[in-house]
Structure 1
Amino acid sequence: MSNSISVVGAGSMGAAIARLGLAAGRPVQVVTRDVAAAQAVDPAVEATAFGEPLTGDVVVLALPYPALDDVVATYGDQLAGRTVVDITNPLDFSTFDSLVVPADSSAATELAARLPGAQVLKAFNTTFAATLATGTVGDVPTTVLVAGDDPDAKGSLTAAFDGSAVRIVDAGPLRRARELEALGFLQLTLAAGEKTSWTTGFALL
């Protein structure tokens, strides 16, 4: 199961991340309530209904923030011992003007507290699906910033996507997830306000 990937969610982000895993030569499972949507990502993925067992040692939660409750309830025990990647940006979508987690916390920190047996990382929340698909932001490679406290988990994530178009950069401990979520929030509001495009993003030079 080494470097195998389970992507929970088959939306634009989940599909883009799954294809990166396939490009890196990894076994990829896509888990969703709509198995047809998982199958549509790529014929090479293992399409699995939500609630069925996870097969990856790196589990990417490519879902909206409110859906994390269902993931914890359904897969909490299975996630113990695995690298769990939270990609959410916990926006208040009623106002699109704030984050809904406390100022001294983050969605990833909250998730880690609920999954004490898992190694939780924050990653992919500062990239749009389009830049993951192309592998570039402007003229530079798309960078995936990763925050987490477990070096082995970071190594597992990096190894899982080694050979894909993106580069993965260590952004520090899990407490840096707050800054990553703020950056993701800013990027989303800029795109929603048509100040930037959904096909662009922040680049690390």
Structure 2
Amino acid sequence: MNVTLVGPGVHGTMIAALLARHGVGVTLYHYKPAKAEAAAAQVRAVAQDPSRVAVENDLHRAAAASDIVVLATLWGEAQRQVIQEIGDELAGRVVVDVSNPLDVTPHGIIRALSPHQSSGAFVAGLLPEGTSHVKVFSSIGPDALAEGADLADPAVLAYGASDARGKKAGAEMVRAVGWRPWFLGDAVRNAVRLEIGGEVNVLRGRRGRLITEAEAEAAFGPEATDI
């Protein structure tokens, strides 16, 4: 598996590090190349194969490097700019949306949308036809994401997808970082549940933010089979 990650901040760098630690090839892009290089240094330090961690300074080449593109920028205008720039190049690829609708203000970080709106729906409205949209990694912070990987009793990470290709890719990616994937159904319909303030986002299990398969079934009911 090879993955391109656009916008490696704290959360994105942790996702990239977990992927690389488990042998996945990772290409990093940031509009500020120095930030991509700094993230790559952190990722290579834990990578199973540091030679498979690359930096690409051109967004078009970065998108072309992998069939899976993780959009890890801030939500909103940054997402719009990235998707508009590479546009139809995303068609036929899987776009993994890890965003939460949060704005940084002088008064702190606040939720920017009403409880019935989601950044997942915002992203879906920008993607070109033929793109598989996966909503995952929004429901848990970077520290808990790292702590919950590779447990003997695997912790559950819920996700949604727009089609069968996205469902398959999402499950493979979650397994690749040492978690048990739990499919909720359609990415947009379940985005509110996965994002900040949603029922999946705030759910607590016996390890704080981490829940087991049995706890997930008790909370969500049986895992979804259809989109």
Q: TM-score, normalised by structure 2?
A: 0.72
Aligned partners of 1:22 and 1:28 also within 8 Å: yes
Say which SS state the counterpart of residue 27 (structure 2) adopts.
strand
Change (3 A) 1:142 1:50: farther
Distance 1:40 1:75, change over 3 A: same
* Structure 1, 18-27 or 111-120: larger mean CA deviation: 18-27
Bigger radius of gyration: 2
| SS in structure 1 at match of 2:56 | strand
Query: Would the alpha carbon gap of residues 160 and 122 (structure 1) be closer, same or farther in structure 2, given more than 3 Å must change?
Result: closer
Letter in 1 for 2:146: A
- How much has 1:157 moved relative to structure 2? 2.3
In structure 2, the partner of 1:59 is 69
> Which one has more relative contact order, counting CA pairs under 8 Å at least 6 apart?
1
Tell me, in whole angstroms, the C-alpha distance in 2 between the residues paired with 1:140 and 1:168: 13
Alignment match of 1:27 (pick from 25, 28, 44):
25
> For the residues of structure 2 that align with 1:46 and 1:161, how far apart are their CA atoms?
21
More displaced stretch, 92-101 vs 72-81: 92-101
Secondary structure at the aligned position of 1:77 is classed as: helix
Matched, 1:149 2:162: yes
Where 1:49 maps in the other structure, the secondary structure is: coil
* Letter paired with 1:20: L
Question: Match for residue 192 of structure 1?
Answer: none
Higher helix share: 2
Which runs of 5 or more structure 2 residues have no equivalent in the other structure?
Answer: 45-49, 216-227
CA contact (8 A) 1:112 1:119 kept: no
Taking structure 1 as the reference length, the TM-score comes to 0.79
Identity %: 27
| Residues 1:126 and 1:160: Cα distance change in structure 2 (over 3 Å) | closer
Which residue pairs with 1:10 in the alignment? Answer: 8
* Residue 79, structure 1, aligned to residue 82, structure 2: no
CA distance in 1, matches of 2:176, 2:150: 18
Residues 89, 107 of structure 1: 8 Å contact kept: yes
| Contact 1:6–1:58 (8 Å) recurs in 2 | yes
Q: Describe the superposition over 1:80-105 as per-residue Cα deviations: whole angstroms up to 9, x where unpaired.
A: 11111111110244366864335544
Once residues 97 and 104 of structure 2 are traced to their aligned partners in structure 1, the CA distance between those partners, rounded to angstroms, is 18
Once structures 1 and 2 are overlaid, which stretch shifts more, 87-96 or 142-151?
87-96
Which amino acid is 1:68 matched to?
Q
Give the number of aligned pairs: 194
Q: How far did 1:6 drift?
A: 0.9
Alignment-derived partner of residue 100 in structure 1? 112
Q: CA deviation at 1:134?
A: 2.4
- Does 1:88 pair with 2:99? yes
Q: Tell me which moved more, 139-148 or 47-56.
A: 139-148
> In 2, Cα distance between the equivalents of 1:201 and 1:113?
30
Task: Give ranges in structure 1 of 5+ residues lacking alignment.
Answer: 189-195
Instruction: Give RMSD over aligned pairs.
Output: 3.1
Moved more, 178-187 or 85-94: 178-187
What code does the residue aligned with 2:173 have? A
